[in-house]
Amino acid sequence: MKKIFIVISMILLLASCTSTKEIAYFQDSEHGRSASVAQKQITLRPEDKITILVNTRNQELTNMFNLPYVSRQLGTQTNYGQTQGVSCYTVDNEGNIDFPQLGKVHIAGMTRNMVVETIKSKLVGANLVKDPIVTVEFANLTFSVLGEVKNPNRYPIDRDAITILDAISRAGDLTIHGLRTNIKVLRMNEDGTQKSYIVNLCSLEELQNSPVFYLQQNDVVYVEPNEMRARQSTVNGNNVRSSSFWISLASLLTSVTLIFVK
């Protein structure tokens, strides 16, 4: 009987355990090892929204270059001459925005810093202002994290370089059931086609060389469930690979054995 129970226990253990090799990140990393990763900044596309704030020493000039944004509430009087914020510019299908005093400005394909320098150059070149301070921020750029993470959601892009590790961190890290070796990143290209990439978090070298190490706007990071979670997601969790199946089988074998022993 002791041998039978030992065999049954080993079967249950093997059926339910998860190898640490499937959990630990960066398994090929070495202490003191350095690697250069080319930083890829976000570039603007049609339908992206940004805010542009121009500051000068002259307040009247400043008001000329900033779109008025006034909070409106029903039943209250609106003061259209007061600027309470900055409105968003939407990149049109041709890659342009319509900027006050400058007209159409092409910014598609530019980074935030490039937009700053372009607006500065055009304002100075048109003799509109000599010393502008231009600030550009993303307004509607996001990425999504789905699947086996603690907090799946859509998250804003608030700086120029967002890595897939940043995305996973914002989502609260992978659950213990997340498949670390086969994370999918879906990316919509500028021509409207979508491409899928595979990321292996267990290998630091593969991760650093991945074309999706730095995320872009509208990227979707999907963490697949491992086999244990997949087994639990069946209708009754009772198939030949599930732990419940082996528990039921072990219980049956124990009962049959007790009958024959008696």
Give me the pLDDT at residue 122, please: 96
**Please, are residues 154 and 173 in contact by the beta-carbon 8 Å criterion?**
no
Looking at beta carbons, which pairs linking 69-74 to residues 24 or more positions away fall under 8 Å? none
105, 153: one domain: no
pLDDT in tens, 138-167: 999 999 999 999 999 999 998 999 999 999
Q: Are residues 111 and 92 in the same domain?
A: yes
Of 50-54, 200-204, 237-241, the poorest mean pLDDT is in: 237-241
For residue 218, is it within any domain?
Answer: yes
CATH number, position 127: 3.30.1950.10
For 4-20, how does the pLDDT look when each residue is reduced to its tens digit (9 = 90+)?
Answer: 555 555 554 554 445 55
Q: SS3 of 23, please?
A: coil
The answer to whether residue 171 is domain-embedded is yes
Structure tokens at 124: 């100075």
Is there a single domain that holds both residue 195 and residue 214?
Answer: yes
129: left (phi over 0), alpha (psi -120 to 50) or beta: beta
In a domain, 236, yes or no: no
Q: Are residues 188 and 212 in the same domain?
A: yes
> Could you tell me the two tokens for 203?
């290998």
Is residue 215 included in any domain, yes or no? yes
Beta strands 220-223 and 194-199, pairing class? unpaired
pLDDT, residue 137, reads 94
Extended beta strands in 160-247, E state: 183-188, 194-199, 220-223
Domain endpoint, select from 138, 163, 178? 138
Q: Which long-range contacts (CB under 8 A, 24 or more apart) does 147-151 make?
A: 147/178, 147/222, 147/223, 147/224, 147/225, 148/174, 148/175, 148/177, 148/178, 148/179, 148/223, 148/224, 148/225, 148/226, 148/229, 149/173, 149/174, 149/175, 149/178, 149/223, 150/174, 150/175
| Judgement on whether residues 97 and 116 belong to the same structural domain of the protein | yes
Whole-model pTM over 0.85: no
Place of tokens 């603007």: 44
pLDDT in tens, 60-114: 888 888 876 544 444 444 443 333 456 789 999 999 999 999 999 999 999 999 9
* Domain assignment of residue 58, yes or no: yes
The total number of structural domains in the chain stands at: 2
Residue 193 has what pLDDT?
87
Together in a domain, 154 and 177: yes
Residue 3 has pLDDT above 60, yes or no: no
C-alpha 148 chain-centroid distance: 14
What pLDDT score was predicted for residue 30?
75
Q: What is the pLDDT of residues 111-139, one digit of tens each?
A: 999 999 999 999 999 999 988 999 999 99
In Å, how far are 7, 148, 150 from 31, measured between CA atoms? Answer: 41, 29, 29
Residue 4 included in any domain:
no
Write down the pLDDT at residue 246.
56
Mean pLDDT of 18-26: 70
Same domain, 102 and 222: no
Tokens of 44: 């603007």
Same domain, 148 and 67: no
**Domain identity same for 131 and 149:** no
Q: Are strands 103-106 and 220-223 parallel, antiparallel or unpaired?
A: unpaired
- Taking only the tens place, the pLDDT of each residue in 191-223 is 778 999 999 999 999 999 999 999 999 999 999
- Name the residue range of residue 65's domain: 49-74+84-138
**Is position 11 within any domain?**
no
For residues 17-46, give the mean pLDDT. 77
Q: How many CB atoms within 10 Å of residue 96?
A: 17
* Mean per-residue pLDDT of the chain: 81
Domain for residue 15, yes or no?
no
261 contacts 1 by C-beta, under 8 angstroms: yes
Residue 120 is encoded by which pair of tokens? 């500065």
Which of the 8 DSSP states describes residue 63? H
Q: Which of 113, 138, 163 is the last residue of a domain?
A: 138
**At 208, which CATH number?**
3.10.560.10
- Measured between alpha carbons, how far is residue 136 from residues 23, 28, 51, 114 in Å? 40, 39, 6, 10
Which of 109, 138, 167 represents a domain boundary (last residue)? 138
